[in-house]
Structure 1
Amino acid sequence: MEKRVIDGIEIEVGSGNVFADLGLPDAEKLKIKSGLVFEITKAIRRLGLTQEQAARRMGIAQPKVSGLLRGDFANLSERKLMDCLTRLGYDIEITVRQAEAETGHLVLAAG
């Protein structure tokens, strides 16, 4: 990882994926899921939903909504998180194309 000195303080420049920087397994998967959770949280706030209202709309139990809003998304799949987003009024597009490198990667682009 690249190191720099700013105002006399040595810092490490992140890779753009905090989960990978921390050495966690499945870092790409965690990055995608956290991006989906971020969008769900924004939608719930934008719509002014209570946790119970959000739970009914997303088709999950209220304690899972509470967990999501606290950053606990380990028990929900990417597919379920995408389903929650569509139930909150989001369109999701998945584009697949051949990578330029030998190994491809996942990218979440939210707009």
Structure 2
Amino acid sequence: MAVEHVTSSGNVFADLGLSDPEGRLVKSKLAAALQRSMGELGLTQTAASARMGMPQPKLSKILRGRFDGISEAYITDGLRKLGHDVEIWVRPRHEGIGAVRVLETA
């Protein structure tokens, strides 16, 4: 039996044909950064949600990749409250549709 091999576009959400794949990818990378930060700080969901001023069920939803009704700004605000600097850059205009990227530094 042959196994079909498909090369990824680099965005699993686009590969799956989901709506707003770029937004979903950005939110998932921000959520991953949030998860790593909680681990580094040794915070439970309860402690992290209190520190961020975010209801624990909403934090749980974010960490499980359930982003309906959750904005990128909401997640970045949580990162800021955990002590992270979050920068947003707008680069010069070019032809076509621009991209959104999440870049982490050590």
Where on the TM-score scale, by shorter chain, does this alignment land: which range? 0.7 to 0.9
Could you tell me which runs of 5 or more consecutive residues in structure 1 were left unpaired when the two chains were aligned: 1-7
Structure-to-structure mapping, 1:4-43, within 5 angstroms? 9-43=3-37
| In 1: Cα distance, 2:69 partner to 2:96 partner | 32
- Asked if 2 retains the 8 angstrom alpha-carbon contact of 1:57 and 1:87, the reply is yes
How far has the Cα of 1:10 moved from its partner? Answer: 4.1
Structure 2 length as normaliser, TM-score? 0.88
- Asked if 2 retains the 8 angstrom alpha-carbon contact of 1:58 and 1:84, the reply is yes
Task: Work out which of the two has the higher radius of gyration on C-alpha atoms and give 1 or 2.
Answer: 1
Alignment partner of 2:75 out of 69, 72, 81: 81
| In 1: Cα distance, 2:87 partner to 2:69 partner | 23
More strand by share: 1
How far has the Cα of 1:72 moved from its partner? Answer: 2.0
Structure 1 length as normaliser, TM-score? 0.84
> Alignment RMSD, CA only?
1.6
Q: Which runs of 4+ in 1 moved over 3 A?
A: none
- 1:50 paired with 2:57, answer no
Alignment partner of 1:69 out of 63, 66, 77: 63
Using the aligned pairs only, state the percent identity: 43
- Asked if 2 retains the 8 angstrom alpha-carbon contact of 1:37 and 1:73, the reply is no
